[in-house]
Amino acid sequence: MVEDDEFSALVTYQVLKGSYEIDIVSTGEEAVEFVGKNKYDVILLDIGLPGIGGVQTAGLIRKIKGYENTPIVALTAYAMSGDREEFLNGGCTHYLSKPFAIRELSNLVRELVTEPALNKA
């Protein structure tokens, strides 16, 4: 999970911790570093990050061998017309607008982890 807001990271962690192993970083630079060293099944990515933003981070992750088709879920407060399309065109495969329902997040992650055929949004 890439999230610069500590409260959002904590809430998301609390929702998913019993079912998944979760690493949390707060910048795009850290995300690229972690992805280069580890293999993740799903990446939860805040779009409004300090430093390199979420869309640029998604693009950099896509260039790392083995991450060409990994699900990247944009978790963002950006919900204006055209934002979803921008994020999906920028390397994200899924989009959840903040605030999102806890059930919505947990269901999506479960689908992405257990049903790889659904990884192509």
Domain ranges of the chain: 6-119
**What pLDDT tens digit does each residue of the chain (121 aa) get?**
999 999 999 999 999 999 999 999 999 999 999 999 999 999 999 999 989 999 999 999 999 999 999 999 998 876 667 777 888 888 999 999 888 888 999 999 999 998 654 444 4
Q: How many CA atoms lie within 13 A of 101 on its CB side?
A: 4
The span from the CA of 116 to the CA of 70, in Å, is: 9
Evaluate if pTM is beyond 0.75: yes
The span from the CA of 59 to the CA of 80, in Å, is: 21
**Helices (DSSP H) in the chain: which residue ranges?**
6-16, 28-37, 54-62, 83-89, 102-114
The span from the CA of 107 to the CA of 93, in Å, is: 15
Q: Is 39 in a helix, a strand, or coil? A: coil
Q: Please, are residues 81 and 60 in contact by the beta-carbon 8 Å criterion?
A: no
The fold for domain 6-119 equals Rossmann fold (3.40.50)
Q: What is the pLDDT of residue 118?
A: 47
The alpha-carbon radius of gyration of the chain (Å, integer) is 13
